[in-house]
Structure 1
Amino acid sequence: MSLNCLIVDDEPNAVKLLELHIQQTTNWRIVGKCYNALEALECLKQQKTDVVFLDINMPRLNGMELAGLLPSHVKIVFTTAYSEFAAASYNYQTLDYLLKPITLTRFLAARQKIEAAFRTPAQADKTEDDHQDYFFVKSGKTLQRIRLQDLLYFEGEKEYVRVVTVKEEVLVYKRLKEIAEQLGPPFIRVHNSYIVNTSQIERILDNHIHIADKRIPLSEKFRADFMALIQQRFL
């Protein structure tokens, strides 16, 4: 689905992360990146906009104040570090409320809500591949499409990361730390060299995680966070 979206946030790193999520997982067009509300109002006059990704805590005019000035056809996704404004945000034409840092999995859930809001009844009846959660990774000159449900684990190799799925392995030029910062549950880091998809784990034995035919070490550094996530699935 093609949509026009505007990013409004006074934090450059937050803008960059959201831009990356949009570029990797959608066909949307980013019509502008604004660092305050006044810039956003000018951009909205010049660019057809469907969705605004809107920070709340900004100087001069905050996100809530800007939301009250937006046309009714422009939908809003609030992006903020503050959970206490969530209820008030739905006084506007709000589709979702994302807490920073925005993980890739959380963004993908928001993407489904956004596209559902703009989908016609006829489109909603179709079972298109677009409905699958996926992203692209760059391997050499190739942009490789990866479905989240197919991912087994990520293995760091110095300046590279090996992306291992049920079908293939792809080597990408990126640090494991960068990937860990973008992903949320069911993905979790378990070792300096590994991120695993917990939904693909077959068993945990002797401080090792077994996924497919791979035996992955569980380090003490990451053990507590990993076990806290696993315990959510205990019977």
Structure 2
Amino acid sequence: MRCVIVDDEPLAREEMQELIKEVSQMEVVGVFSNALTTMEFLKEHQADLIFLDIEMPMVTGLEFAAQLPKQILTIFTTAYSQYAFKSYELDAIDYLLKPIDKARLEKAISKAEAYKRLLSDDTEKNIVQSNTSDFLIIKSDRRFHRLNFNDIRYIEGLKDYVVIYTGSQKLITAMNLKTIHQKMPQHLFIRVSKSYVVNIDYVDSFDHHNVYVGESEIPIGEVYKKDFFKMYSGGSLNPEE
């Protein structure tokens, strides 16, 4: 994969370059201090992934990410945690807090590489074919897969695709999250953010910010929090407490 680093702090740019070299074989094709010069670079050069700071002069990282082509993946790198929910609304691959932990960076890069492989596998034909009251049939990786609703743990939206997670596999199909959610039992699956739908039976625990499904930490969006608390607890829990 080819990546670009965008950060207005020189030291942060240097540290990111060194960390990337330590944990991956990714090629750094550009390092920039602001979004405007990065955009000019991307008009003439190819990149698969951008490591993007948020609080920058002229154009913020959030504003820049909203303008990026769909095929370019984004990992936000920032010292501020308050932008996390907004980053998921922009379909970011991950959100890393400074100082960036090497193991955490490695995990984020692995996730980006996995998405890149999935999106390159003829995904434009991977559409949901049919559904019944018990299962969903999707086309993924040139095969049709029957997925029992009870086996689906959660679904993650990524741009124009969704990734369906079961206990043993993850499958990608070309469909937005809202559309596939509408094809599923509404008493079992609930939208918890712009980017995630979870099977309520697989929720191990939750707090005011995240839902935990096994080892996966899934953010709860403010818009969806009230409905999640109501559905999960039958109205006995107050998301404001």
Higher alpha-carbon Rg: 1
TM-score, length of structure 2 as denominator length: 0.48
